[in-house]
Structure 1
Amino acid sequence: MKSLLPITFLCLMLNVTLIGQTLTPEQLQTDFARFRTALNEVHPEMYRYTPKHTFDSLFTATSARLNRPMTQHEFYVTMMPLLTALRDGHIKWIVSGKDEHYPFFTDKLFPLKLYFLDEKAWVVGNYGAGNVPDGAEITTINGKSTASLIQSLLPNMTFADGNRIGGKLEDLNRYFSGYYATFIGAPDAFAVTYRMGNEETNVTLQPVTEQAIKAYAEKHKSAPQHPLRLTFVDNQTAVMTIEAFFKEMNGLKFSQFLQKSFREIKTKGAQNLVLDLRDNEGGEESLGVLLYSYLTNQPFRYYDHISVRQKKRYSFPAWTSKLYRLAKFMVVKKRGDGYVFTAQRGLSITKPQKDAYSGKLYELLNGNSFSVTTEFAARAHADKRAQPGRAVFIGQESGGGYKLNSSGIFTITQLPNSKIDLGIGMFGFHMANVSAYPHADRGIIPDYLVEPTADDILTHKDRVMDYTLKLIQSQQSALTNSR
């Protein structure tokens, strides 16, 4: 579960600004020791993607760099290689009291909204008074090529499990200006080269403020829709959109929405279900289990096991759930060389629902399909072996990992001198029956890769949905002609 609520609360309670203040090497080493201890005692799958000996070398190299006075900003950046080595999209590294995407600069920010795909970027909006046209491809910023900028930023970004970059590119789409300021710089002006057709143009743009960026985002928000929706293209094809996995959203309970929707799908006899999970960053794990129970006709186990790093009290000051602290001696058990969490619905055998859907399933994913969403999609994808051709995945690779999701309840500690909050998901959710998937460090790779273009963004064209509905139509026509 990707939850920022406890972290936000801690930031508000412990709002201390240190930007510009110099930290001594002794203070830096104290914070470094707290950081290392917290990861070692809390993170359930610290060595999943980076072996221990590599991590130990990274710790040694990072500690050696903390031998001179540093600002909070310098320390924040110096520690990033350790965070990104986790390859855990849920890890939190937030300057207390600051927006996590604009931790050090609230002005001198890049003034264009960009859309990234592969190693290119196009203009899809303007936060300031610049005159770069929408749809223009940005080729350089302050003398650096777009490709080199992307290559510089991706290693400093954490929003992806394993070796995925889709989630990171989605983050750049939303927060490029903040990432640029934090990891590249906050200049007084931006020299930009852009291309329209075969013509290149050089312009100098004035920076904008964080406030201007957020005002733009608010002004250009899409018209509000309910986060849980069921529509019908025709009597044969239903489209279910789930924007998040929470028990209640906008007055509608998740369980009631599923019950009513699948009853309606069954009543109408729809044979095609499009399940739109794009930009769904997750929520409550049990609701992924519930959704899957409406999409199978066999009893199933959702999780193989849920790993926990340790059972004893932490040796450092930290915030975590009081209920978990009280209950862990009953619900955390020894297993082999480690520990597992045993109180989760998905660990037991779950029966299918009475109105479970058995027709053709089309799941839509992108880089923001994360956490609980990826768990659910992995569970459904694994069934392709037992039911070839039943489920089809369309769009872009998920941001979450196929076999493992490290999240759940968070433990949060604030480093005592730099006042940076480190938030660590305590549970490692290992999916059941996914061992046959050949990629240890990937998400759900779609059967049909369909990537939106900058023009799609500007014209509000849904390329992925259009592709899916045409695919359904062509498959129905082929079935009709074969009879």
Structure 2
Amino acid sequence: MYPLLLLFYSSFARSQVPLVLTPEQLQTDFARFQTALQEAHPAPYRYTPKGTFDSLMVATRARLNRPMSQQEFYQVMTPLLVALRDGHIKWIVAGRDQHYPFHPDTLFPLKLYFLQDKAWVVGSYDTGTIPPGAEVGAINGQPMAAIIERLLAQGTFADGKTLNGKYEDLNHFFSGYYATFVGAPATFDLTYCYADTDTTVRIAPVTFEAIKKYEGTLRIVSQNARLSFEDSTKTALLTIRRFWTEGDEPSYKKFLAQAFREIETRKCTALILDLRDNEGGEEKYGIKLYRYLAQRPFRYYDRISVRQKKALSFPAYTPKLYRMLRGLVVKKQGDGYVFTAQRGLKIRKPERHAFAGKLYVLLNGGSFSVTTEFAARVHADRRGTFIGQETSGAYEGDNSGIFAITQLPHSKIDLGVPLFGFYMANLPADLEKGQGIRPDHPVIPSIEDVLMGRDPAMQYVRQLISNQ
């Protein structure tokens, strides 16, 4: 369920793509795309009705009747990915960064922060002089609100009806989105407002290497999972940035055992669990964490669906583990199949040192996949209070786990299809189809918060605890 699958995509060698793809080549690639969804995706109609999706497939195929560049084909096909409403689906031009697949030498030079239909400058990838905090009014004569609307419609980092993941993608990768779906001109005419003054300037593009260098200077290397205490309020703060471990990082299992023993020893009455920007990882990590928070035995997943049991008919990479586990797929009543061997399907008991105090969970649009699954269990069991923003993952579950990776033969675009459909157990009866985990206390950072480095959600939850 890892959010980034670049290690899988390296399985395919990069090869030359024709400058122009013929209609016959486009139709061949479309057929591979269609077959991959039909044979591998566990729930293509989970959020978009079959009739609606099938009609979109027919309309898209009809558009592939003229020669196209790789980028044009990428653009024509993207609405199909969006219509799946599956944030785990992968659509990556082979050998290129998934967020900057085209025009690496002519990218928009400013880092922006987005809120609804507005955007502000928060940094520059070159030595530009646009002041941080300036509100962008237009780029090359096109209003910023229209650009945002256009790019949100192309975003795939969202399950169901959620939007915050798409905004997070724009916050991080706007320059790539703009180059892919709007354009990559030789210059950008930028209209902005700062200190109540409107200004229009012409700015030069930057390279992908400049963006990587800039982002590298901002990256803070810190421990993935960490615990601290605020003794004045008997509060523990547990931060988990991802649900997997790398390299020589401490054992997650041992970390949790030690952390919750210490929380118990210190007699903490409140726990803040910060899961913002945690895009997920391994399912067992979320299940293990909830065992330290649950107050009674629980079932994590209701079921795990798969599309079929037999081998795929098209060329694709699948992990050896999946090929070994196919024998554990069984047919259920009706036409579906389910995967039966997963610890989350069984009744799990709380851990010995499970925390019994008040739980506060911080979430935002970067909280996805395993993180949303965990939050769904907490929320459905009414175990905690949520602060922040709606998750990009869907409350009812997701399509993820192990992936089948196939490369479209002529366009050389890699399609990653999740093979398991996870459905959470014991969901609320009033759950809205396609919603994420919505906070009890919404807190959205303003542009001033971003520029000043303030954390309004953390400030809010601390005030909430001190007032109780």
Scaled by the length of structure 1, the TM-score of the pair is: 0.94
- The 3 A distance-change label for structure 1 pair 135 and 126 is same
User: Which residue of structure 2 aligns with residue 230 of structure 1?
Assistant: 227
Which amino acid is the alignment partner of residue 397 of structure 1? E
Task: State the 1:474 CA deviation.
Answer: 1.1
Among 122, 125, 128, the alignment partner of 2:123 is 125
User: Which residue of structure 2 aligns with residue 400 of structure 1?
Assistant: 393
User: Which residue of structure 1 aligns with residue 110 of structure 2?
Assistant: 112
Name which of structure 1's ranges 154-163 and 429-438 shifts more when overlaid on structure 2.
429-438
Distance in 1, Cα, partners of 2:413 & 2:246: 32
Task: State the 1:331 CA deviation.
Answer: 4.0
User: Which residue of structure 2 aligns with residue 4 of structure 1?
Assistant: 4
- Give secondary structure in 2 for the equivalent of 1:139: strand
Q: Is the 8 A contact 2:113 2:447 kept in 1?
A: yes
Distance in 2, Cα, partners of 1:181 & 1:438: 38
Task: State the 1:12 CA deviation.
Answer: 6.0
Distance in 1, Cα, partners of 2:258 & 2:167: 36
Task: State the 1:335 CA deviation.
Answer: 4.1
1:449 pairs with 2:446: no
Among 149, 170, 175, the alignment partner of 2:173 is 175
User: Which residue of structure 1 aligns with residue 13 of structure 2?
Assistant: 14
Which amino acid is the alignment partner of residue 227 of structure 1? N
Distance in 2, Cα, partners of 1:361 & 1:440: 26
- Give secondary structure in 2 for the equivalent of 1:282: coil
Give per-residue Cα distances to partners, 1:76-113, cap 9 Å, x unaligned. Answer: 10001111000000000001101111111111110000
User: Which residue of structure 2 aligns with residue 478 of structure 1?
Assistant: none
Distance in 1, Cα, partners of 2:218 & 2:248: 21
Q: Is the 8 A contact 2:405 2:416 kept in 1?
A: yes
Distance in 1, Cα, partners of 2:26 & 2:329: 37
User: Which residue of structure 1 aligns with residue 192 of structure 2?
Assistant: 194
1:41 pairs with 2:48: no
Which aligned runs of 4 or more in structure 1 are off by greater than 4 angstroms? 247-250
Which amino acid is the alignment partner of residue 275 of structure 1? L
Which amino acid is the alignment partner of residue 43 of structure 1? H
Which amino acid is the alignment partner of residue 4 of structure 1? L
Distance in 2, Cα, partners of 1:405 & 1:182: 27
Q: Is the 8 A contact 1:111 1:206 kept in 2?
A: yes
Gaps of 5+ in 1: 385-389, 476-483
Give per-residue Cα distances to partners, 1:131-151, cap 9 Å, x unaligned. Answer: 110011111111111110010
Which amino acid is the alignment partner of residue 223 of structure 2? H
Task: State the 1:438 CA deviation.
Answer: 2.2
Task: State the 1:419 CA deviation.
Answer: 0.7
User: Which residue of structure 1 aligns with residue 54 of structure 2?
Assistant: 56
1:473 pairs with 2:466: yes
Task: State the 1:450 CA deviation.
Answer: 0.4
Distance in 1, Cα, partners of 2:461 & 2:198: 36
Distance in 2, Cα, partners of 1:416 & 1:357: 52
Give per-residue Cα distances to partners, 1:361-395, cap 9 Å, x unaligned. Answer: 100000000000000000000012xxxxx511000
Give per-residue Cα distances to partners, 1:338-372, cap 9 Å, x unaligned. Answer: 00011111000101000001111100000000000
Q: Is the 8 A contact 2:241 2:275 kept in 1?
A: yes
Task: State the 1:332 CA deviation.
Answer: 3.9
Which amino acid is the alignment partner of residue 10 of structure 1? Y
User: Which residue of structure 1 aligns with residue 68 of structure 2?
Assistant: 70
Distance in 2, Cα, partners of 1:460 & 1:173: 15
Q: Is the 8 A contact 1:17 1:96 kept in 2?
A: no
| Aligned residue runs from structure 1 range 73-222, under 5 A | 73-222=71-220
Which amino acid is the alignment partner of residue 390 of structure 2? E
Q: Is the 8 A contact 1:333 1:342 kept in 2?
A: no
| Aligned residue runs from structure 1 range 285-434, under 5 A | 285-384=283-382, 391-434=384-427
Task: Figure out how many residues of one structure are paired with residues of the other and give that number.
Answer: 467
Q: Is the 8 A contact 2:309 2:329 kept in 1?
A: no
Which amino acid is the alignment partner of residue 4 of structure 2? L
Distance in 2, Cα, partners of 1:426 & 1:30: 23
- Give secondary structure in 2 for the equivalent of 1:23: coil
Task: State the 1:14 CA deviation.
Answer: 1.4
Task: State the 1:9 CA deviation.
Answer: 4.1
Distance in 2, Cα, partners of 1:101 & 1:184: 14
Give per-residue Cα distances to partners, 1:199-248, cap 9 Å, x unaligned. Answer: 111111111000001101111223x2201000001151000000111155
Give per-residue Cα distances to partners, 1:301-352, cap 9 Å, x unaligned. Answer: 0000000011111111111012221331234443432000111110001010
Q: Is the 8 A contact 1:230 1:241 kept in 2?
A: yes
User: Which residue of structure 2 aligns with residue 460 of structure 1?
Assistant: 453
- The 3 A distance-change label for structure 1 pair 437 and 444 is farther
Distance in 2, Cα, partners of 1:228 & 1:435: 30
Q: Is the 8 A contact 1:247 1:284 kept in 2?
A: no
Task: State the 1:130 CA deviation.
Answer: 1.9
- Give secondary structure in 2 for the equivalent of 1:81: helix
User: Which residue of structure 2 aligns with residue 479 of structure 1?
Assistant: none
Q: Is the 8 A contact 1:12 1:97 kept in 2?
A: no
Distance in 2, Cα, partners of 1:13 & 1:90: 19
Q: Is the 8 A contact 2:14 2:94 kept in 1?
A: yes
Distance in 2, Cα, partners of 1:221 & 1:314: 40
Task: State the 1:456 CA deviation.
Answer: 1.7
- Superposition RMSD in Å: 1.3
Q: Is the 8 A contact 1:247 1:287 kept in 2?
A: no
Q: Is the 8 A contact 1:305 1:347 kept in 2?
A: yes
Identity, in percent, stands at 58
| Aligned residue runs from structure 1 range 233-312, under 5 A | 233-234=230-231, 236-247=234-245, 250-312=248-310
Which amino acid is the alignment partner of residue 39 of structure 1? L
